[in-house]
Chains A and B, each alone.
Chain A
Amino acid sequence: MKSMLRLGLVATALIAAGAHAEELTGTLKKIKDNGVIVIGHRDSSIPFSYLNNQKPIGYSMDLADQIVANVKKELKMPNLQVRYTLVTSQTRIPLVQNGTVDFECGSTTNNLERQKQVAFSVGIFEIGTRLLTKKTSGVKDFGDLSGKNVVTTAGTTSERLLKAMNAEKKLNMNIISAKDHGESFLMLESGRAVAFMMDDALLAGEMAKAKKPDDWAIVGKPQSYEIYGCSLRKDDPQFKKVVDDALKATFASPQMATIYKRWFQSPVPPKGLNLNFPMSQELKELLANPTDKSAEQM
């Protein structure tokens, strides 16, 4: 009789649990089973995701914290362990795909090619591709670049746009593709190139690092807009919903303005530089109408 009663209790509990939430699948199940969530971060994408005293910080990492909070709440695991794994621009996609990291937040552009490999959260940032140049260089817009040396970072959309523009408009630019943003800026600073084409937010970061930030200016009409998103495994709607819900809630709250201000309009570690980069109209619109589409799809 006693055992009958116990059986009944267990059965009721099971039914109750089933009724409360649909069965866990994919990433959420993995997180629950392992008791740990793994976040992919970058080492030097200032101010989005970078290392400071061995710890990943930045605008995108603050948003990642919001995602983690929501996962904890959803799984009812307030003590869920959080682990960080460094990814590079080459490893980020495969590491998400093979489950090494559960999601990645950095400065990853959402585009159609990448959508074939991974899913994206709703956009977390929007940039325009523009030019960084010396104030005295006389360069005001892309049209002024013909016949000049222009640097951009290898593998970026800017590189592709710049090369396409050069071919189409026969501008005769000499395009230098540097290894990373730091190297691109070095090319600019050492006089090998008159302008550096890149995402405006990143240009602001490089400018802040310059010996004399006031000598430099970001100019030109944006040639394209790009939306950054966190990347996660494809075909995992359960997890994607938790991620997107967390972001949307944050965007709608006053907290968002604080996060933005903290990384783009105040001194940031490690050197206490201030990017002085007010929120663009495009980003305001994006935050007001969250979407996981890429800029080219809009």
Chain B
Amino acid sequence: MNYNWDWSVFFKSTGIGSEIYLDWFITGLGWTVALSLSSWVIALLLGTVLGVMRTLPGRFAARFATVYVELFRNVPLLVQLFVWYFLVPDWLPEKLELWFKQDLHPATSAFISVTVCLGLFTAARVCEQVRTGIQALPRGQAMAAYALGLRLPQVYRKVLLPQAFRIIIPPLTSEFLNVFKNSSVASLIGLMELLAQTKQTAEFTANLFEAFTLATVIYFVLNMALMLIMRGVEKRVRVPGLIALGGK
């Protein structure tokens, strides 16, 4: 294949101000990390609440959480993003709608939409992990806690969730990594995260392979770093006798 490799392309000017192409990658990485982390916070909080709801004795809470999971897990992410970005703002009161569409910086409104979308989508997946974790615990754990007079919230906070989280760290790690991959949907609504910046660099320079190679390396390093962090977390909170559930 007669391809012309040119690794110096990243240091060439983009023709916009004094930017070089490497700057685009850095900006893209910034967006990817910011998006993923904020979505993950939403997913973890909401997913935990929903996961707990699925294990509660009450019918209504469990039913609600089940419907939520079915809905958010089965509708494709792209469709959800479309809804959050193009439809939901139209349902807002007129003033708010105009503010969201025109006064907010487009990157900000896109960021909000993607974060909400990805957060709620991932919450459904986290919910299932949390539920699995809680249900994997022996029934006697909750019973012993209730027998001592602990209230339901205390039983979950002090006894069930700390154990459930420890055993689901591996599957949660892979969900966490998925958030980073899924954050690339942001490029569809014009938020220039890492993948979008890569494609753009490839388009502008025609140095497709260099651009995608660099992106691969960045994603790989990012993945490794996250994996090491999660490994560290797992090690720090490890207690003898609790065995983690297998990863995906």
> Would A and B touch once assembled, by the CB under 8 A criterion?
yes
Give the B-binding residues of A (Cβ under 8 A): 89-90, 93-94, 97-99, 111, 113-114, 116-117, 149, 151, 154-156, 159-160, 163-164, 167-168, 174-179, 183, 186-187, 190-193, 233-235
A89 and B190 within 8 A (CB): no
What residues make up the interface of B, taking CB atoms closer than 8 Å to A?
A: 1-4, 6, 14-17, 86, 90, 98, 101-102, 105-107, 109-110, 187-190, 192, 196, 199-200, 202-209
- Residues on the B chain within 8 Å of A179, using CB: 187-190
- How near does chain A come to B113, taking the closest CB pair, in angstroms? 11
Besides A191-B101, A192-B101, A193-B106, 15 new A-B residue pairs in contact (Cβ under 8 A), listed by A number? A93-B208, A94-B3, A113-B204, A113-B205, A116-B206, A154-B200, A154-B203, A163-B16, A164-B15, A176-B106, A177-B200, A179-B189, A187-B190, A191-B102, A235-B2
Residues of B within 8 A of A155 (CB): 199-200, 202-204
Which residue, B101, B102, B110, B203, has most C-beta atoms of chain A within 10 A? B203
Q: Which residue of B lies closest to A112 (CB)?
A: B206
Q: Which residues of B contact A164 (CB under 8 A)?
A: 15-17
Listed A/B pairs (5) with beta-carbon separation below 8 Å:
A149-B106, A154-B190, A163-B16, A179-B188, A191-B101
A93-B206, A113-B206, A177-B200 known; A183+B3 contact, CB < 8 A: no
A160 CB contacts on chain B under 8 angstroms: 14-16, 204
Residues of B within 8 A of A191 (CB): 98, 101-102
- B90 / chain A contacts, CB cutoff of 8 Å: 190
Task: Collect the chain A residues with CB atoms within 8 Å of residue B199's CB.
Answer: 90, 154-155
B107 contacts which chain A residues (CB < 8 A)? Answer: 174
B193 CB to closest chain A CB, in angstroms?
11
CB pair A90 B2 closer than 8 Å: no
In angstroms, Cα B2 to Cα A154, docked, is: 27
A186 cross-chain contacts in B, Cβ below 8 A: 86
Query: B208, A90: Cβ atoms under 8 Å?
Result: yes
CB-CB under 8 A for A97 and B3, given A160-B16, A186-B86: yes
A149 to chain B, nearest CB (A): 6
A89 vs B208: C-alpha distance in the bound complex, in angstroms? 11
Which chain A residue has the least Cβ–Cβ distance from B90? Answer: A190
A94 touches B208 (CB 8 A): yes
* Nearest CB in chain A: distance from B4 CB, A: 5
The answer to whether A97 touches B1 (Cβ under 8 A) is: yes
Partner of A177, one of B86, B192, B207: B192
Q: Which 8 A-B pairs have the closest CB atoms?
A: A155-B203, A167-B17, A113-B206, A176-B190, A98-B1, A163-B16, A114-B206, A176-B106
Are A234 and B101 in contact, with the CB atoms below 8 A? no
Find the A residue at minimum CB distance from B192.
A177
Docked Cα-Cα span, A190 to B190, in Å, equals 14
A188 to chain B, nearest CB (A): 12
A45 to chain B, nearest CB (A): 14
> For the complex, what is the distance from the CA of A274 to the CA of B208, rounded to whole Å?
35
Which residue of chain B lies nearest to A100 when distances are taken between CB atoms in the complex? B1
Residue of A nearest to B3 (CB): A97
Contact between chains at B105 and A174 (CB < 8 Å): yes
Contact partners of B110 in chain A: CB under 8 A: 176
Inter-subunit contact A178/B190 (CB<8 Å): yes
Cα of A153 to Cα of B155 in the assembled complex, Å? 53
Taking a contact as CB atoms under 8 Å apart, the answer to whether B2 and A190 are in contact is: no
State in angstroms the CA–CA spacing of A49 and B201 once bound together: 24
Q: How far is B109's CA from A99's CA once the two chains are assembled, in angstroms?
A: 43
Chain B hits for A93, CB < 8 A: 206, 208
Residues of A within 8 A of B187 (CB): 154, 179
In the complex, A229→B91 CA distance in Å? 45
Q: How far is the CB of B190 from chain A (nearest CB, A)?
A: 4
Within the assembled complex, what's the spacing in Å between the Cα atoms of A255 and B211?
Answer: 42
- Tell me the bound Cα distance from A176 to B17 in angstroms: 18
Which residues from chain A contact B203 at a C-beta distance below 8 Å? Answer: 89-90, 154-156
Give min CB distance, B6 to chain A, whole Å.
Answer: 8
Find chain B residues with CB under 8 A from A94 CB.
1, 3, 208-209
The answer to whether A177 and B190 touch across the interface, beta carbons within 8 angstroms, is: yes
Q: Is the CB of B1 within 8 A of A177?
A: no
Contact A151 B3 (CB under 8 A): no
Whole-angstrom CA separation of A149 from B110 in the bound complex: 13
